[in-house]
Amino acid sequence: MHSLNQNIFLYINHFAGQNHKVDFLMTVIAQYIPYVCIGILLYLWFTSEKNEALYSGYTTTLGVILNQIIGIFYFHPRPFMDNLGFDLLSHKLETSFPSDHTTFSLSIALMLLTFKSTRILGIVASIFALWCGIARVYCGVHYPFDILGSVIVAICSAIIIHLFKNKLLYLNNYIISINNKIIRISND
């Protein structure tokens, strides 16, 4: 499996460094898609989809926490730590499995898919999140199986939050009521 992971990495990463415009685009995607997903949550919050934004926030928080727990028990070097590939991004010497950027983005996207009102936005966010994962491999900071691990973590996180959705509604109502009070106070 390790050689398959490396071979797929080398195939995707071998395109890096060949075209400055593509490299620039891939580094932007690899670094900034999570911010786009945060922007989506803010958009939902300031429209009429506050519950969906909160559930997506819980999902991504759970996903990143699960990544940190996995990282405590399983260390996998990044490709550049194995002296493989071409690096477009500098990164700390830490475990690469699973990808936090991909888990973060995909967790938001998958939860948005569970609601009819945000399904189209969820599809768009899912495409962005998967491109983020591919770009992280292209840029030399993750192996493909790191991205696959992120997909699994994001799916698990979305399922868990979906299962506890009704219990979390009380927390949502509390957060929304605080938000409404702050708005009322600021308008007075």
pLDDT given for residue 83 in this prediction = 86
Task: Render pLDDT for 68-125 as a digit per residue (tens, 0 to 9).
Answer: 999 999 999 889 888 888 888 877 788 889 999 999 999 999 999 999 999 999 999 9
What's CA 63's distance to the chain center, in Å?
8
**The two three-digit tokens of residue 127, written as one number:** 């495409």
Structure tokens at 50: 């506050």
Kindly report, residue by residue over 138-188, the tens digit of the pLDDT.
999 999 999 999 999 999 999 999 999 999 999 999 999 999 888 888 877
Instruction: Give the CA count within 13 Å in the CB-facing half-sphere of 134.
Output: 13
CB 37 within 8 A of CB 61: no
Q: At what angle do helices 50-73 and 144-163 cross, to 10 degrees?
A: 130
How far CA 123 is from CA of 59, 113, 153, 162, in Å, comes to 16, 7, 18, 17
Only one residue has tokens 């199986």, namely 145
pTM: 0.91
